[in-house]
Amino acid sequence: MDTALTALGDYFRARRAVLSPEDVGLPRTRGRRVAGLRRDEVADLAGISNDYYLRIEQGRGARPSDQVIGSIARALRLDVESTAYAFRLVSGQMPRGPVMRDTDTPDRISRTLTQWTHTPAYVSDPHRDIVASNPLATIFGEGGLAAGSNQVSALFNERMRRSLVEWEPMARSAVATLRRDAHPESPRLRELLQQLSVDKDFVRIWERHDVSGPEDATFRFLFDGVGEIAIDAQNFAVRSMPGYQLTVLSARPGGPGAEIFAHLAKSLPGGRSVGMTETRR
């Protein structure tokens, strides 16, 4: 059986499962037992036969045409990035892993982050392993955002579930970037999946097959003795290092978040940065 077609079928099935009839403008019939969309509903929305759609989900037959894939993507309400991921799956042209065009790039990124003394910032690779982090990110994340940590793994613990008000959407977004950027056959991805498979929430979110999420978001963090603090997060692609991502955290000037960042910055000894770590393949 063609592994690319199997992967495409798994993807469509997972995305069908997270949609409700209301999401696609269909009425919810009384006594309905299916949580997501039924196969025949997706087939009708895509304008193809139910039998043909069933074969696609089962990874059987020939590769669907671009027109059919596009029709199913629209039926499943996939956005641009999620649709592109479907085409990458069926083509087999998934990310091949990190490629650095310039051997001096890691050092330059570390030097740049060193200069950012008033806002947390870090760079993660396609597996969301943090390869560079400035001191403020390290202390703000209590080590979870330090170089050598993993951004996704750091979310799946009781402290983050308790302190991060928007934990569910933030966790979904982080897991989505992991699926989007990491090669599905990467040894490092397999290692991460094995480590995180003991967490029921991770398994549930991973099985959604999300590959897109908000690149910019505002989340609220509960600080002991302070209360909820709003933090803005922006993610930027690092063009010289495909699959790498720069994350910058900020807070409104004059607000409690900015005061916390300023307080943490003053507590740092000498402004030392945490440099680039060796990327695991």
Classify 105-266 by CATH class.
alpha beta
Please give the residue that has the higher pLDDT: either 101 or 89: 89
Q: Could you tell me where the beta strands, DSSP code E, fall in the chain?
A: 121-124, 130-133, 216-223, 227-237, 245-250
Residue ranges, CATH 3.30.450.180, the chain? 105-266
Separation CA 277–CA 218 (nearest Å): 28
- Please, which residues have CB within 8 angstroms of residue 8's CB and are 6 or more apart in sequence? 56, 59, 64, 69, 86, 89, 90
Separation CA 61–CA 48 (nearest Å): 15
> Would you place residue 270 in the very low, low, confident or very high pLDDT band (cuts 50, 70, 90)?
low
> Would you place residue 77 in the very low, low, confident or very high pLDDT band (cuts 50, 70, 90)?
very high
| 124 three-state secondary structure | strand
Q: Is the pLDDT of residue 273 over 60?
A: no
| Cα three-residue angle 62-63-68, rounded to 5 degrees | 115
Q: Is the pLDDT of residue 246 over 70?
A: yes
Separation CA 134–CA 62 (nearest Å): 50
> Would you place residue 276 in the very low, low, confident or very high pLDDT band (cuts 50, 70, 90)?
very low
Q: In percent, how much of the chain has pLDDT > 90?
A: 55
Separation CA 276–CA 14 (nearest Å): 36
Q: Is the pLDDT of residue 71 over 90?
A: yes
Q: What integer pLDDT is reported at residue 110 of this predicted model?
A: 76
- The values of phi and psi at residue 13, to 5°, are -65, -40
Query: Which is nearest to 246 in space by CA: 146, 156, 132?
Result: 132
Query: If you compute the radius of gyration of the chain from its CA atoms, what whole number of angstroms results?
Result: 21
Q: Which CATH architecture does the domain made up of 3-91 adopt?
A: Orthogonal Bundle (1.10)
Q: Any idea which of 4-8, 35-39, 262-266 has the lowest mean pLDDT?
A: 262-266
Q: What integer pLDDT is reported at residue 106 of this predicted model?
A: 63
Q: What integer pLDDT is reported at residue 44 of this predicted model?
A: 96
The stretch 250-271 carries a mean pLDDT of 81
Query: What percent of the chain is helix, strand and coil (3-state, nearest 5)?
Result: 45, 15, 40
Q: What integer pLDDT is reported at residue 190 of this predicted model?
A: 95
Q: What integer pLDDT is reported at residue 40 of this predicted model?
A: 95
Q: Is the pLDDT of residue 122 over 60?
A: yes
Q: What integer pLDDT is reported at residue 1 of this predicted model?
A: 61
Q: In percent, how much of the chain has pLDDT > 70?
A: 90
- What DSSP string describes 52-89? HHHHHHTT-SSPPPHHHHHHHHHHTT--HHHHHHHHHH
> Would you place residue 183 in the very low, low, confident or very high pLDDT band (cuts 50, 70, 90)?
confident
